[in-house]
Chain A
Amino acid sequence: MSGQMSQESDNEYSDDHIEDDEDEYDNYYYDNNDDLDLDKPKKSDDPEYFEFDLLKVEDVERLLNEEVEALCTSLKITPSLAKMLLHAHGWQRSLIIERHQRDPEKFLVDSRIVADKKNISQDNIMGLTHTCPICVQQLSKDEFQALSCQHLFCNECWDMHFNIQINQGLTTGIECMGKDCKLLVPEDFICGILKDTSMREKYFKFSFTDLIKSHSQLRFCPGPNCSIVVQAKEPKAKRVECNMCKSTFCFRCGIDYHAPTDCDTIKKWLMKCADDSETANYISANTKDCPKCHVCIEKNGGCNHMQCSKCKSDFCWMCLGEWKTHGSEYYECSRFKENPNIANESVHVQAREALKKYLFYYERWENHAKSLTLEEQTFKNISTRIQEKVMNNEGTWIAWQYLLKAADLLKKCRYSLQYTYPYAYYLDRGGRKELFEYQQAQLEAEVENLSWKVERAEISDTGELENLMDIAEKRRLTLLKDFLEV
């Protein structure tokens, strides 16, 4: 590196610039390296590959309006009706058109838009006045309105009904007031009756949200106060990152990304953890005793490979076993050994075993989650360490960047590793589980190797660390390729 370059870098050592600078360096590489395109993840070899767009509210409004208009033209119906159909059928336009062409009347009845002939009220207005069944007031007949079910109510009662429903957050789901009548009230009927303009605005605001939620290709960013809507052609359980609020989440279910576990399983697992939180509480200790000399050891980094400060023995934080055994082919720390004879045991033994199994997986899940927060700290420590090293003339700032990259990759691998535990918990015994546990153990071993090294790396370790990074990421991708549903 030229002297001039290091001088330039000198000004950029201050902490608050580091992250921005990293982006700039990325751009620098992208712009200058023609071969790099070849290294970019491709659809075929990246199990996490996912195409999506981030839309602003105006973009979504335009998109929905276009879809509504297209349906209006194909079926020759009002926009209000088109919206109801699209909402009821997940915005699958071709399916709607097909079912409408096959039997329009039945389709509209099934969609709760037109009343079934046998449910139409015979309660007609005979004279000039009529008694509203809700407020029991006798009013002139032009004070009354009904949907196709002919359930007549006075305008004032309709208005009150809509006000109360909208204030409860209901819009597209507002039904007729008739007894047992499930007919949905269309937007234009509601807006024709609502007297209060602020109520009308509220209706449009809430129904817009409802329409987006019913659209299988759209999902609100779950980030706090974020108004971004994600659009993806295929509603898959893949990772999405919002560039506005930086949240990452699963496109299909909107919660934290959870590969290799699927949406239903992770929901089941999180619910179980919430239900059993008291049982699992005792686990949350940050200190354990050294298995050799029994001195109290505090865990203050993400790495589970511990070294006792007093007797220098190496042991595993999770199982307190010797660390030596952990790197080998026979790595057993992540595997729960089930009693093969469990079906013949008493109910009590079975219950105890079930609890033991759950706690085994929960402990490991929880431990990786904690390690991840500790690694946030490690990341900050690394930035400080790099600054000190550069100031002491041990390597240049750019030469040390590999360590930040390693810390970043470590987070990604540990994150996936954490989410392998719910997957394994619900996996039935058999060959597939064995393969999964084998790959999980391999990943676990590499993650801990990398973690140990990242906390201690020197500038001369670049090559070794890059090698470790490469292996860890390969293990992660192999596991996802075999077990993540595409």
Chain B
Amino acid sequence: MAGLPRRILKETQRLMQEPVPGISAIPDDNNARYFHVVIKGPSESPYHSGLFELELFLPEEYPMSAPKVRFMTKIYHPNIDKLGRICLDILKDKWSPALQIRTVLLSIQALLSAPNPDDPLDNNVADLWKCNEQQAIETAKDWTRKYAMAKNNNIQ
């Protein structure tokens, strides 16, 4: 791709050379702004041993505008909706050009370890999470088994 900003090249290089533990992000062969992402469900979370696929896209204005990220694998989480959209402040109004793809992926991984039902994207999930956490966690584990363990992705 002609005219890919230096910033994106640098970030991609570093992602490949020093990958974040538990996360793989590989640029698409045909579009260097599109990344295939896989996040490993953090241990001690209901997503443990699940492999979650995401897509990440760097818009024209990146890094002035935030990357667009979405879960492709179904996941039961109060801050992630049916379409896989993520409620994360740094992806919206708290975005700063000083942040990077790396920081975004780390934040998403952290969100899996610590769901935040007080700032929900999916109200039904958040309500259950608040009034019956045990049952919500069981459902999340169930969905992880059903949707995030079928394939055997390679991940470091």
Residues of A bordering B, CB below 8 Å: 133-137, 157, 160-161, 163-164, 175, 177-181
Given A135-B5, A136-B6, A137-B6, verify A179-B98 contact (CB < 8 Å): yes
**A179: min CB distance to chain B, Å:** 4
One of B61, B64, B65, B98 near A133 (C-beta < 8 A):
B98
**With the chains together, A315 CA to B63 CA distance in Å?**
69
Interface of B is mostly: loop
Chain B residues 71-119 with CB under 8 Å of chain A are: 96-99
Given A160-B61, A160-B64, A161-B64, verify A135-B6 contact (CB < 8 Å): yes
Residues of B within 8 A of A133 (CB): 98
Residues of B within 8 A of A181 (CB): 96
Given A161-B64, A164-B64, verify A136-B99 contact (CB < 8 Å): no
Residues of A within 8 A of B63 (CB): 134
One of A137, A163, A164, A177 near B98 (C-beta < 8 A):
A177
Can you list 10 A-B contacts with CB-CB less than 8 angstroms, sorted by A residue number? A134-B7, A134-B98, A136-B10, A137-B6, A157-B97, A160-B64, A161-B64, A164-B61, A164-B65, A179-B99
**B127: min CB distance to chain A, Å:** 14
Residues of A within 8 A of B65 (CB): 164
**With the chains together, A164 CA to B65 CA distance in Å?**
8
With A134-B7, A134-B63 given, name 9 new contacts (CB 8 A): A134-B98, A135-B7, A136-B7, A136-B10, A175-B96, A177-B97, A178-B98, A179-B98, A179-B99
Residues of A within 8 A of B98 (CB): 133-134, 177-179
Residues of B within 8 A of A179 (CB): 96, 98-99
**With the chains together, A202 CA to B19 CA distance in Å?**
42
**B154: min CB distance to chain A, Å:** 30
**B7, B10, B98, B99 — which one has the most chain A CB atoms within 10 A of its CB?**
B98
* A177→B61 contact, CB < 8 A: no
**With the chains together, A133 CA to B10 CA distance in Å?**
11
Fill in one digit per residue for B33-58: 1 if any A CB lies within 8 Å of its CB, else 0: 00000000000000000000000000
Residues of B bordering A, CB below 8 Å: 5-7, 10, 61, 63-65, 96-99
User: Which A-chain residue is minimally distant from B8 (CB atoms)?
Assistant: A136
Residues of A within 8 A of B10 (CB): 136
Residues of A within 8 A of B97 (CB): 134, 157, 161, 177
User: Which B-chain residue is minimally distant from A179 (CB atoms)?
Assistant: B98
**With the chains together, A136 CA to B11 CA distance in Å?**
10
**With the chains together, A424 CA to B61 CA distance in Å?**
52
**With the chains together, A136 CA to B9 CA distance in Å?**
10
User: Which A-chain residue is minimally distant from B6 (CB atoms)?
Assistant: A136
In the A-B complex, the 4 residue pairs with the smallest Cβ-Cβ separation, listed nearest first, are: A179-B98, A164-B64, A136-B6, A177-B97
**A122: min CB distance to chain B, Å:** 15
**With the chains together, A180 CA to B65 CA distance in Å?**
16
User: Which B-chain residue is minimally distant from A165 (CB atoms)?
Assistant: B64
Residues of B within 8 A of A157 (CB): 64, 97
Residues of B within 8 A of A163 (CB): 64
**With the chains together, A181 CA to B99 CA distance in Å?**
12
User: Which B-chain residue is minimally distant from A175 (CB atoms)?
Assistant: B96
User: Which A-chain residue is minimally distant from B98 (CB atoms)?
Assistant: A179
**With the chains together, A135 CA to B6 CA distance in Å?**
6
**B102: min CB distance to chain A, Å:** 13
**With the chains together, A157 CA to B63 CA distance in Å?**
9
**With the chains together, A175 CA to B64 CA distance in Å?**
12
Residues of A within 8 A of B7 (CB): 134-136
**With the chains together, A134 CA to B5 CA distance in Å?**
10
**With the chains together, A136 CA to B10 CA distance in Å?**
8
User: Which B-chain residue is minimally distant from A153 (CB atoms)?
Assistant: B97
**With the chains together, A178 CA to B98 CA distance in Å?**
6
**B56: min CB distance to chain A, Å:** 19
Residues of B within 8 A of A137 (CB): 6
**With the chains together, A482 CA to B78 CA distance in Å?**
47
* A177→B96 contact, CB < 8 A: yes
**A369: min CB distance to chain B, Å:** 29
**With the chains together, A135 CA to B5 CA distance in Å?**
7
**With the chains together, A161 CA to B6 CA distance in Å?**
17
Residues of A within 8 A of B5 (CB): 135
**A460: min CB distance to chain B, Å:** 62
Residues of A within 8 A of B96 (CB): 175, 177-181
